[in-house]
A and B are shown apart, each in its own frame.
Chain A
Amino acid sequence: MSKYYVNKFLFTVDRDPEYLKRYTEDPRNFVATWEQSIGPRLNDAEMSTVHSFTEAEREALINHDYVALFEMGAHFFLNLTIFIGIYDAPYMEKHGPLAFQKEFAAKLQHWAGKEYPSVAT
């Protein structure tokens, strides 16, 4: 498991409008591309050989499954902001302000009152 690498995915995609568009429209292909050529990038010249996704992490990212990502200990801020970027506008149009954020919270209700999975990396 690599919480760090999941966070790196969320971090690199949320901050880049082109990546975010591709992750929104075709998550399966984009996750494959990310693993091949974006995730390993350390800087413009260097590649890292250190991290990779587990099958569960890969599937959670492909499925925009923020509940699974929360449960794996993905950082709460990254896990929220990227999916707001994808879902806030369409939910707002259909159901009004904060509809997506409230659904996100509702799907995590089974964690209310419990200690959350650690986000430490």
Chain B
Amino acid sequence: MAQLVATLASTHHPFYLKATTMPREQQMPQAPEWKRKIEAYRETLTRTKPDILVMIGSDHFHQIFLDNCPQFLIGKAPRYDATFYNEEREFGIPKYVLEGDEAMSGFMHQHLMDQDFDFAFSNELKIDHSIICPIITVRPDADLPVVPIYTNIFAPPLPSPRRFYNLGRAIRKAIDAYPSDKRIAAIGTGHLSLELGGPRQFMETGPDPEFDRQAIEWLRSGDIEAILANVDHESMAKSGNATHGFLNFILMLGVAGPEAADYVDNLDLFHTMEAYFTWYAKEDAA
């Protein structure tokens, strides 16, 4: 059976590449520290020598729109183009082509259906920065095949936090059951408190630093019960109108299992709290 070698959950800040590659004299003061933290985080993946990456993200109205809007979708294609024109324009993110793994995508899709997660699928999926940002940060050579999974964190009504956690558990079961000797890493991104297009955007901190501190502690200790007792759609909206990206962290904790993280780091940037978590698989976590 395949082996899950690492579960990574982080924020995805689309300006990382631009902020750390522009001429030094124009860089923000935190850029060197940010780069050091990202490189340390990258090492938590590199050392596990993965063969395939299961990538969890959320399309930001790039391929997916309100005319046809799935809650959960899996890519099943031989390869994936990435980065849309408006992401190049706004964030300076280059285009990529990622290899797919149709066999694993097909297996995951069926296994998730068998676990009562009725996934939508796409045979021609162009992926956006929610999946390319972590490629840039933790696998910048973009040299591994991916199985992309998209969740809806954007267009209400959204699935519940418990549903996201249970989906993470189901993804873990599907990875563990995959008949292959490959080493799998699961990499997901989302947000802590975040405001976009509202009165609390682009402040000195994220819109709810208290939530950010609490969320990091919950994830550090793997305390899913505390998360489910305290976080719902209304509470996330109070913490910032785009805070629902936290649902992907809940999903990733489901992949890891309710365990303390093996690696935790964070960085207070000018309008968000960035956070980076890695769990290494333990025998009894599945």
Q: Is B29 an interface residue (CB 8 A)?
A: no
Chain A positions within 8 Å of B36 at CB level = none
Known: A76-B196, A105-B202, A108-B199. A15 touches B86 (CB 8 A): yes
Verify A104–B157 contact, CB threshold 8 A: no
Known: A14-B86, A85-B86. A121 touches B242 (CB 8 A): no
Q: Is B211 an interface residue (CB 8 A)?
A: no
Cα A110 to Cα B200 in complex, Å, equals: 11
Stretch at the interface among A29-37, A52-60, A112-120: A112-120
Verify B242–A77 contact, CB threshold 8 A: yes
Verify A76–B200 contact, CB threshold 8 A: no
Neighbour of B154 across the interface among A70, A75, A112, CB < 8 A: A75
Chain A positions within 8 Å of B199 at CB level = 105-106, 108-112
Chain B positions within 8 Å of A119 at CB level = 155-156
Q: Is B47 an interface residue (CB 8 A)?
A: no
Q: Is B60 an interface residue (CB 8 A)?
A: yes
Known: A85-B90, A120-B156. A105 touches B66 (CB 8 A): no
Verify B157–A120 contact, CB threshold 8 A: yes
Q: Is A84 an interface residue (CB 8 A)?
A: yes
Most buried by A among B89, B197, B199: B197
Cα A78 to Cα B66 in complex, Å, equals: 12
Chain B positions within 8 Å of A121 at CB level = 66, 155
Verify B85–A17 contact, CB threshold 8 A: yes
Verify B196–A11 contact, CB threshold 8 A: no
Least CB distance, A82 to chain B, in whole angstroms: 8
Verify B61–A104 contact, CB threshold 8 A: no
Neighbour of A105 across the interface among B60, B61, B198, B270, CB < 8 A: B198
Contact digits for B190-211, partner A, Cβ 8 Å, 1 yes 0 no: 0000001111111100000000
List CB contacts (< 8 Å) of B133-181 with chain A.
154-157
Neighbour of B202 across the interface among A14, A66, A102, A115, CB < 8 A: A102
Chain A positions within 8 Å of B263 at CB level = none
Verify B66–A7 contact, CB threshold 8 A: yes
Verify A70–B197 contact, CB threshold 8 A: yes
Closest residue of chain B to A82, judged by CB?
B86
Chain B positions within 8 Å of A108 at CB level = 198-199
Verify A104–B201 contact, CB threshold 8 A: yes
Chain B positions within 8 Å of A70 at CB level = 197-198
Most buried by B among A81, A88, A118, A120: A81
Neighbour of B198 across the interface among A76, A81, A120, CB < 8 A: A76
Least CB distance, B197 to chain A, in whole angstroms: 3
Verify A8–B197 contact, CB threshold 8 A: no
Chain B positions within 8 Å of A101 at CB level = 201-202
Beyond known contacts A4-B66, A105-B198, A115-B237: 10 more, CB 8 A cutoff: A14-B86, A15-B86, A77-B60, A77-B197, A78-B61, A104-B197, A104-B201, A111-B199, A119-B156, A121-B155
24 A-B residue pairings within 8 Å (CB atoms):
A11-B65, A11-B66, A14-B86, A15-B86, A16-B85, A17-B85, A17-B89, A75-B154, A76-B198, A76-B241, A77-B60, A77-B154, A77-B242, A80-B201, A85-B86, A98-B270, A101-B201, A101-B202, A102-B202, A104-B201, A105-B198, A106-B199, A119-B156, A120-B157
- List the interface of chain B (C-beta within 8 A of A): 60-62, 65-67, 84-86, 89-90, 154-157, 196-203, 237, 241-242, 270
Q: Sorted from nearest, which 6 A-B pairs have the closest CB atoms?
A: A76-B197, A80-B197, A108-B199, A101-B202, A120-B156, A112-B199
